[in-house]
Amino acid sequence: MTGIIFDLADFSTADGPGIRTVIFFKGCPLSCRWCSNPESQHFHPEPLYHSERCLRCQKCLDACPLEAIRVREDLLIDRTRCRDCTSHPCIEACPNDALKLAGRVWSSEEVMAKILPQRLFYQNSGGGITFSGGEPMAQPHFAFALAAQIKDAGLHLGLETCGWFTSELDFDRFQLFDFIYFDLKHFTSDLHQTCTGDGNEPIIRNLRSLCQSTGPKRITLCLPLIPGVNDQEPFFHWIIGLAKELGITQSRIIPYHEFGRTKYAALGRNYPCDSLRELTDYQITTFATLLRTAGISCEIVGRDHA
């Protein structure tokens, strides 16, 4: 069984308990404006260009069979010409890692060979493996097959999902995951569509189905907190109502940050959140307090002091 992955990140402490390896699946049905992993959105491998490493040697220009690379002020990959060739001669030709590939096909055996030697780190820290992305459930056959192998190996396993996946999945198979971080971004479907590319109906429907099949205890609601989008009390009152209805008692707030900015440049895309400013600790804590007062635990990710 194979799938496309764009990164395997070891020693993460932000994607579940303990020390974890995060497996980033490539491809996502949504395209959130604030996405900090824009290289995760397309389902195919694609070249990233890191200008600061470029020697201007032009070896990649000569290597590209489609003349998709030009030089203006900087190197420019014409993404309308680039066919993301499987052999990536441009990347092979680059002597300084200025061109890198985002995504490649992995077999589940390859992934297991990478993670199993770290079993002791996971066990000693109470950690394990987390599927992230992109959207892991956009590659459901690969994701469930790999999840079964990881559980057979006795490892702790988590899933981070945007919640947008087909309702035809066998929801009982989500019991392979010890925890599920489930994103909710807005209660108004229109605004959800404007900001993420699709409405929220399939997401809410899937959350209800998941709660029925796995029970609510496995599920933590993940709330990206985006200035001007959902940093308002009505969003949190909606979250509290939904959590109480479904019996979910855990949440995480992920405040907007700019970590993805350089990746947009590497993909030759404009950063879509130029006008956004990060929220203050006070603003974030106010929303966390709303949740906690309603009996929903709330972890603030990436702001230890908030």
The residue ranges that bind ligand SF4 (CB under 6 A) are: 47, 54-60, 64, 66, 68-69, 75, 77, 82-85, 88-90, 93-94, 96, 98-99
The rounded distance, in Å, linking the Cα atoms of 151 and 134 is 22
Nearer of residues 4 and 64 to ligand SF4, judged by Cβ: 64
The CA distances from residue 188 to 29, 184, 199, 295, in Å, are: 18, 11, 8, 24
Give bridge partners of residue 298 from the DSSP assignment: 251
Of 30 and 48, nearer to ligand SF4 (C-beta) is: 48
282: left (phi over 0), alpha (psi -120 to 50) or beta: alpha
Q: How far apart are CA 79 and CA 93, in angstroms?
A: 18
Nearer to ligand SF4 (CB atom), residue 96 or residue 293? 96
The interaxial angle of helices 233-246 and 281-293, nearest 10 deg, is 30
Q: Least distance in Å: CB of 259 to ligand SF4?
A: 23
Minimum CB separation from ligand SF4 for residue 66, in Å?
A: 4
Least CB distance to ligand SF4 at residue 157 (A): 34
CB of 6 to ligand SF4, least distance (A): 15
Q: Read off the tokens for 148.
A: 């079964």
Q: Which neighbouring-strand residues pair with 253?
A: 223, 300
Residue 303 DSSP label: -
Query: Nearest distance from residue 43's CB to ligand SF4, in Å?
Result: 16
**Between 75 and 301, whose beta carbon lies closer to ligand SF4?**
75
The residue among 57 and 153 lying less far from ligand SF4, judged by its C-beta, is 57
List the structure tokens of 167. 């309702």
Q: In the bound complex, what is the minimum distance in angstroms from residue 105's beta carbon to ligand SF4?
A: 15
Between residues 48 and 210, which has the closer beta carbon with respect to ligand SF4? 48
184: which 2 tokens? 């909710």
